[in-house]
Amino acid sequence: MTFQRFSDFLSRPCKPLAEPLARWFLTERGQQLERMERELLAAQLTRHFGSYIVYYNPPMPIVTAPKIRRHISLGDLQLDVDVHCAEHKWPIAADAVDAVVLQHSLDFAVSPHDVLREAAHCIRPGGHLIIVGVQAWSLFGLYRHCTGSVWKHAHCLAPARITDWLGVLGFRLEKRSFTAYRPLLNSSLMQSKLESFERYAQRKNLPMGGCYMLVARKMVHGMHPQSHSVKLSVQKLRPNVVAARASHSKHIKHSEEHDRSS
């Protein structure tokens, strides 16, 4: 499978980089990128509703979804999150949450394959996966090669490749947006001069932004290997469909008894 084919290529034996990434977002350039990404995510998350949304390894304070009741953050031990876990084993039941946000989670995962699989596993059918990543062929993508910051270690997966993987996992892409068209400069004067270009490019959704956002809906259950380990449910997140099945079986039984009596 295409999804499995790149797993070994993308997996790398290195330490997690979520904490250095969070520190980079506290720098001046990091604050510039945070504002642009926060604006992009905030506009999208107002469209989602439900009971639970999960953020994995958020590199900055989470952007809340106002119509979703519970916000849960997962991630590495070095991060200030609600639940600490390994990227290949999330403590959430299958089909349990309404949305998952992966903000640069794939860019800095030891294995993007594992993170995407775990996220797909816990989203209910009809739920959404929201991915924010960096484009390699952009001004910001080129910037990472000229800096000694954590970005030189980023995967920078292409949106087209992630879209293919999502298709294998039973997701359909609904939206692709871009931001961070202008370079991250220390000069506030230059930033203000390029503001109009940034707005124009976002309005036209030009595919050359430094960061992209993919929004995909889960249409069917994705493939997930069976595990003998018990996964903890968060506040009994699994949807309750037992009653509906029992009611259906009851009607079938009554129908069979009626046929025999006739």
pLDDT one-digit tens code per residue, 38-96? 999 999 999 999 999 999 999 999 999 999 999 999 999 999 999 999 999 999 999 99
Residue length of the chain: 262
Give tens-digit pLDDT for 112-151. Answer: 999 999 999 999 999 999 999 999 888 888 877 777 789 9
Which helix (H) or strand (E) element contains residue 140? helix 139-143
Task: Return the amino acid letter for 124.
Answer: R
Sheet holding 49-56, edge to edge: 83-84, 67-75, 49-56, 97-103, 123-134, 211-218, 171-179
185 contact partners, CB below 8 Å, separation of at least 6 = 191
The rounded distance, in Å, linking the Cα atoms of 83 and 78 is: 11
User: For position 242, what pLDDT does the model report?
Assistant: 39
Q: What is the pLDDT of residues 150-201, one digit of tens each?
A: 998 999 999 999 999 999 999 999 999 999 998 888 777 777 888 899 999 9
pLDDT of residue 67: 97
Residue 1: per-residue pLDDT: 47
pLDDT of residue 219: 93
Close Cβ partners of 202 (under 8 Å, ≥ 6 residues apart): 177, 178, 179, 181, 209
pLDDT at 253 over 70: no
Least confident segment among 11-20, 90-99, 208-217: 11-20
Task: Give the chain's radius of gyration (CA, Å).
Answer: 21
Give me the pLDDT at residue 159, please: 94
- Residue 11 predicted with pLDDT over 50: no
129/45 Cα distance (integer angstroms): 11
Alpha carbon distance 129, 253 (integer Å): 40
211-227 tens-digit pLDDT: 999 999 999 654 444 44
Two structure tokens written together for 61: 């304070």
CA gap 242, 101 in Å, rounded: 29
Helix (H) or strand (E) holding 43: helix 28-45
Q: Which fold has domain 2-261?
A: Rossmann fold (3.40.50)
With contact defined as beta carbons under 8 Å apart, do 113 and 123 qualify?
A: no
Confidence tier at 233 by pLDDT (50, 70, 90) = low
**Domain spans of the chain?**
2-261
**Does the structure show a pLDDT above 90 at 34?**
yes
